[in-house]
Every structure is written in structure tokens, then in C-alpha cells.
Structure 1
Amino acid sequence: MPKIAADGQYLTVLNLFSTDADEKQESLLGAMRKIVDAASYEGWISSTVHSGVEKPGTANFIQWHSHEDLEARYSGEEFKHRTLPLFREITTSIRLLQNEVVFTQQKPELGGVTEISPDRDDLTVIEVFGVAEENQEGLVDALGPSQEWLVDVPGYRTHTVLRGLRARGLEGAFVVSYAQWDDDDSYRAFRAQREEEWSAARQKTESLVAELATSRDWNTYRVLYTRAAGQ
């Protein structure tokens, strides 16, 4: 199963697709699985397909050796004339986000490792933050090292912060949070907690994120399928 680490070893790509109906989500998932099953691209490491829970949509967490390998895929005839047009037919938005993993955190019992796999029962939360370029590093810190308090929150498992490098379908600088929770109930309880009940540490970081982020949107997911090069 793929592992997430802030070691600079891979380019991490998050392809986020939204749609407006459950049946279109199923079509997206089927198309994505076919592409992942056939993947043999130079520099491709792994792909992990996620199914939207809170809202219809999909996410593909992809690891590549380099930006150049990914651009070779994007410039290919298959991607330009078959893959992208197919996705445009059944989506309401497409965001292809290239990122660097800059921070990971886990509950102590997970041994310092973040894994993603359909064999796990994580509820995955992916949140995308827009930010002014000059504030990107500050937002990375606010979403990552400043959130040590999360390990004490019931239901929290892990979270990863990704610095946006470049994107298609999204303008400007961005930061992504990829988090794993026990279940939907624990995550909803966390989001629904009243501000006056927040710890001082949470109040501080939430205030900083609100100050720095120019936009934010999120969805919850379940990991559906994964495949790595050589499988």
C-alpha cells in the first residue's frame, strides 16, 4: 500500500473531480479504475482512487518520480484527446494539483507512518485552501506543525500537508490538507464543535488559517482502489 512521507522523494498529484450526481460519480470511478489498471507510464509510482462521501466526486492520489514524467503523460495523445474529454463530459470541475508533501502527523500508536489503502477503514478528508503566494508558507505552518493538538481529538488518525506547486483548473497558490479519521461521526463532531468549546491551541490555529486562507473547500472520501507500478 502507498505510504505518505515528507521526504521529497516523489511528486504527489491530487486529481480532484466533482460532479452533480451519484451515477456520474460511479461513471468517474469506473473510468479512473480502467486508467489505473492500464497505467504503465514512465515515472509513475502509484495511484489510489477515492470515492466521494459528503458530496459526489472522486480523488486520485498519485505519486510520480518527477514533474517531467507527469508532463510527458499530460502531453500524450491519449490524455489530451481521450482521457480529459471523457472526464469533462461527466464532471462539474476538474483540478489537477501538483504538490510537495511537507508535513505528516499521526496518532502515536500508528508508529509514525501514514498509509493509504482500501484495506483500511479510514474516512479521508481532503481540503484545498487558496492563499496569497506570500502567505503560503505561513499557511503550511498553520495547517501542519501548529496542529499538534489534533492528536488528542477523538477520532483523529493522521493528517498530511501538501504545498501546492502548480495546477490545472485552479488559479493561484494553494495548500492541501489530506487527513484520516476513524469515521464520519467523529469528523462531524469535530467540525460541529462550538468555537467557545475549542481549546486555546485550536482557537489560535483556526484564527490563523482564517486570516491566511483566501478560499477553502473540502469533501470526505473512502479509498476504493490502489495500484502501484509493477503490480
Structure 2
Amino acid sequence: MPFISLEDKHLTVLNLFTTDAPEKQDQLIEEMRKIVDAATYEGWMNSTVHAGVDSPGTANFIQWRSGEDLERRYEGEEFKHRTLPVFGEITTSIKLLQNEVAYTVTSDALGGKVEVGPHRDDYTVLAVFAVADDGQDEAIDALGKGQEFLADVPGFRSHVVLKGLRARGLDDKFVVSYSQWDSKQAYEAYRDQAPEAQSAARREAQNRVAAVAIGAPQINSYTVVHSRSAGE
């Protein structure tokens, strides 16, 4: 199963799809499974399909050897004339985000290893922050080192910050956070903590991100439903 690591230097791609009905989410997952199970693209390493929980939609977490390999996939006839049209019919938005891993932190129980896959029971929260042209590094630092306190939050498992490199469907610079939790209840207890009960470090990190963010982040929660790696 895929691991997320600063050392690997893979290109990390997040393909985010939103839709307006649960049955369309089921269609999205079915189409994504077909693509993942048939994948033989040069440079493709693995894909992990996530199903939306709070809002209908999907996220495909993909690791590629390089951006050049991915661009060959995008330029292929299958992608342009079948994949995109099929998804266009059942989605309300499509964002194809290319990233590099900028920061990771885990609970002591995970020992620094961030793994994704359907064999786990993670409640996953993914947030995309559009940021000012000169605010990306600040957002990465605030969401990364500025939130090292997460390791001590009950129910927390892991937190990954991705630096946005290029995107289709998003014009601004961006930063992505990808977090794993024990449960929906554990995450919501943290999310909904009263401001007066929040630590100074948390308030400072939130203020730093807000100072460079463009609008509110796009946030959804997910469960992992399928994964496959090259060679399987």
C-alpha cells in the first residue's frame, strides 16, 4: 500500500471531483476503479480512491515518478476523449492538483509512517487552501511546523502538507492538507473546540493561514475504498 514520505520525492497528484448526489458518487467510484485497475501508464506508481463522507465526491490520491510521465497521460487520446468526458457528465467540479510533499507528522503510534489504503479505517480530511502568490511558503510553514501540536490531540493519526505545483481547475497558488483521524467524532471534537479552549499555537497557526488565504478552504472528509499499485 502507498506510503507518504518526504524522502521519496514522488509527484503526488490529487484528483478531486465533486458531485451533487450520492448515486453520482457511486458512479464516480465505479469509473475510477476501472481506471485504477487497468492502469499501466509509464511512470504511474499507485492510486488510492477515496469516497466523500460529508459531501458527495471523490478524491484519487496518486503517486507518479515524475511530472513528465503524468503529462504524457494527460496528452493521451484516452484521457482527453474518454476519461474527461465521462467524468464531466457526472461531476460538478474537477480539480487535478500536482503536488510535492512538504511536511508530515504522525502520532507516536504510527512512528512517523503515513500509510493510505482500504485496509485501514482512517477518517480522512482533505483541505485545499488557495493562497496569495507570495503566501504559499507561509501557509506551508503554518500548516506544517505551526501545527506540530496535532501529534498530541486525542484521535489524531497523521497530517501531511502538500505544496501545490500545478493544477487544472484551480488558478491560484495552493496548499493541501491531508489528515487521518481515528474517527469522525475525534476529528469533529478537535474541529469544533471552542476558541477559548484552543492552544495559543493553534490560534497562531490559524491566523497565519488566514492572512495569506484566498477565501475559505475547500474541505471534505473521506474513507478509502480502493487502492492499487503498479505490478499488482
Please state which band the TM-score falls in when normalised by the shorter chain: over 0.9
Structure 2 unpaired stretches of 5+: none
| Match of residue 223 from structure 2 | 222
Using the TM superposition, name which of 155-164 and 6-15 deviates more. Answer: 6-15
AA in 1 matched with 2:219: W
Query: In the aligned structure 1, how far is the partner of 2:8 from the partner of 2:98?
Result: 13
Contact 2:9–2:101 (CA under 8 A) maintained in structure 1? no
Deviations 1:181-223 (A, max 9, x none): 0000111111111111101111111111111211311000000
Cα offsets for 1:154-191 (capped at 9, x unmatched):
11110000000000001110000000000001111111
Q: Which runs of 4+ in 1 moved over 4 A?
A: none
Aligned twin of 2:75 = 75
2:154 alignment counterpart: 154
User: Is 2:122 the counterpart of 1:117?
Assistant: no
Cross-structure match for 1:175: 175
Asked if 1:190 is matched to 2:215, the reply is: no
Deviations 1:92-128 (A, max 9, x none): 0000000000111001121110000100000000000
TM-superposed deviation, 1:8? 4.9
2:27 match: 27
Alignment of 1:127-146 (within 5 A): 127-146=127-146
CA distance in 1, matches of 2:227, 2:132: 34
1:10 maps to 10
CA distance in 2, matches of 1:164, 1:139: 11
| Identity, % of aligned positions | 60
Tell me, in whole angstroms, the C-alpha distance in 1 between the residues paired with 2:68 and 2:199: 44
**TM (normalized to structure 1)?**
0.99
Question: Following the alignment from structure 2 to structure 1, what is the Cα–Cα distance between the partners of residues 8 and 114?
Answer: 15
> How many residue pairs end up in the alignment?
231
Residues 23-60 of structure 1: per-residue CA shift (max 9 Å, x gap) = 00000000000000000000000000000001000000
Is the contact between residue 101 and residue 163 of structure 1 (CA under 8 Å) also seen in structure 2?
yes
SS in 2 for 1:104: strand
Cα distance in structure 1, aligned partners of 2:171 and 2:196: 35
How far apart are the structure 2 equivalents of 1:149 and 1:67?
Answer: 33
CA distance in 2, matches of 1:159, 1:29: 25
Q: Which amino acid aligns with 1:185?
A: Q
Counterparts of 2:214 and 2:169, CA distance in 1 = 17
Distance 1:138 1:93 in 2: 27
The one-letter amino acid paired with 1:130 is A
1:8–1:100: 8 Å Cα contact kept in structure 2?
no
SS of structure 1 residue aligned to 2:15: strand
Tell me how far 1:9 sits from its aligned partner. 2.2
Partner of 1:210: 210
CA deviation after TM superposition for structure 1 residue 18, in Å: 0.2
Q: Amino acid of the residue matched to residue 204 of structure 2?
A: K
Q: Which moved more, 1:205-214 or 1:83-92?
A: 205-214
Distance 1:172 1:37 in 2: 32
* Alignment TM-score, normalising by the size of structure 2: 0.98
Structure 1 equivalent of residue 48 of structure 2:
48
Q: Which amino acid aligns with 1:88?
A: G
Mapped to 2, the partners of 1:45 and 1:15 lie a distance apart of 15
